[in-house]
Structure 1
Amino acid sequence: MAALVVLVALAACGEAPDREHTRAVADVPVLVRPMVYREPDPETRRGLGPDGRPDLCVRAKCVALTFDDGPMEHTERLLEILARYDALATFFVVGKMVEEFPDVVRKEVAAGHEIANHSWDHSDLASLSAEGVTAQIQRTQDAILRQSGYRSVLLRPPYGSSNERVAKVAASFGLPEIIWAVDPMDWRDRSSSLVTRRVLSETRPGGVVLMHDIHATTVDAVPAILEGLAAKGYRFVTVSRLFQGTVLKPGHQYRERKTSVAR
């Protein structure tokens, strides 16, 4: 019942224009993630990321597929599809749903996907006080860590709605705001073929693609999206991998590689 209530709320918030339309686990080890914010150094300038690994996306055509609002009932099928195509993605999860489907989040982590913060209950953060924004982010950070052992290093405000107050709170958590370059409107148009066409026609190298794993039609579209983009030479990477050679500053917004909007 709790999942149904949240799903109805998420579906209802897809009507605003220009928005994203849309048990404690004692034995789970904490995954140490590389810090997001680092000053540029010679290694980075030589084409290495801050973690010392080669920056794949300097030469390869990379795209970051992102899925919002889950986990929910369709997410496990999505994970099976991604595994079949050896594709990685980033899941911007809602804290309430992490508590509702903790096993699914663990499967996301085990498969190598990235988990990121999408607020506690999909509230419009720009409409909240600083204390309200802090609670939304903190509760979700805690839920992700408690249920999966994963430390999230990215934030996506619901609807992409942010302001100076949200940016300041995000910065206090050390979180950059990841928005998107491609929105296939899967929250509004429940047509797999239409969603597929939009993603294939609008995706560019370095782009971040917004989708929602709460919709069956979106999950249905993923095989064709993966096949179509792979045929164009794209590599499917997490958001952090996409921006590996870039300094992501907490509180700043990023829509695609090398594009940042400071507040």
Structure 2
Amino acid sequence: MTSTDRRAALRAGAGLVAGGVFVAACSGRGEPDRAEPSRPAPARPLTVVPTPRAFPREPAQIAAGPRTRPQLALTFHGAGDPGIARSVLGEVERAGARVTVLAVGSWLDEFPGMARRVLDGGHDLGNHTQRHLGINDMSEAEARAEIGACAARIKRLTGGVGNWFRPSRAARASPLVVRLAREAGYPHVLSYDVDSLDFTSPGADQVARTVLGEARAGSVVSLHFGYRDTVAALPVVLEELGRRGLRAVTTTELLS
């Protein structure tokens, strides 16, 4: 089934409810890692390494951007099958969207090429700790090591520590973790105001229902690499966001 046919099948069982498109369940297929297909050329060349930027008007933890502009940020926890990750990036790039990827350091150790793949697509790259453990429950030394180890991986691969930090296994960081992230070079902790719950594998239709039912201008949406439901839901999600006049941009652009 082509991507056009898949979108048509998703829409076929859908209705418009409260302005949102609901898609029918569908099982997408990730690309096998051993045979990476060709992909569209990057929208822009990589000219700078990712560097955290301070937004003085924003709090230490950011859950959403301005509600006055017609844009929002789709953010992805970076882990799992790299073939599915490439499928996600391919879908958003075909729609002309840009996203934010918060990468787990151990994932980058296993698949180092993903760091440049993210940046070459024009997306934000950030730190989601080294091992994706419950960072808010760690001692100061353990939490510092988790943040610093992932930052070191990103810097080794790209030349910078990444644009953002997001705590692992928590929507919000503890005051200690906020301080440690700042000391590691991240002025802000990136939270979110929409949780897609795609990591529970609820089906493509439910992923889309959740995102489209809650997202609005300024939203920061939490999604994940590694789940085929997410890949299957993305084309219709992006199409419906566009119909509403909402553009998916990087978190840096959302706050700029």
Q: TM-score, normalised by structure 1?
A: 0.71
Partner of 2:175: 164
Q: How many residues align?
A: 201
Answer yes or no: is 1:124 the counterpart of 2:134. yes
Moved over 6 A (4+): none
Structure 1: how far apart are the matches of 2:108 and 2:138?
Answer: 22
> What pairs with 1:93-242 in structure 2 (closer than 5 Å)?
93-159=103-169, 160-175=171-186, 176-242=188-254
SS of the aligned residue for 1:112 comes to coil
Give me the identity figure in percent.
28
The amino acid of 2:180's aligned partner reads V
Structure 2: how far apart are the matches of 1:153 and 1:77?
Answer: 22
SS of the aligned residue for 2:88 comes to helix
**Unpaired runs of at least 5, structure 1:** 1-28, 41-56, 245-263
- Contact 1:89–1:238, Cα closer than 8 Å, also in 2: yes
Deviation at 1:171, TM superposition (A): 1.9
Quickly say closer, same or farther: Cα 1:171–1:34, change in 2 above 3 A. closer
RMSD: 2.2
> What pairs with 1:18-167 in structure 2 (closer than 5 Å)?
31-33=48-50, 35-37=52-54, 39=56, 60-70=69-79, 72-73=81-82, 74-159=84-169, 160-167=171-178
Structure 1: how far apart are the matches of 2:78 and 2:117?
Answer: 16
- Contact 2:50–2:158, Cα closer than 8 Å, also in 1: no
Deviation at 1:152, TM superposition (A): 0.9
SS of the aligned residue for 2:199 comes to coil
**Unpaired runs of at least 5, structure 2:** 1-45, 58-65
- Contact 1:30–1:151, Cα closer than 8 Å, also in 2: no
User: Could you say which structure has the greater relative contact order, defined with CA pairs below 8 angstroms and 6 or more residues apart?
Assistant: 2
Quickly say closer, same or farther: Cα 1:208–1:227, change in 2 above 3 A. same
Structure 2: how far apart are the matches of 1:86 and 1:140?
Answer: 29
Q: TM-score, normalised by structure 2?
A: 0.73
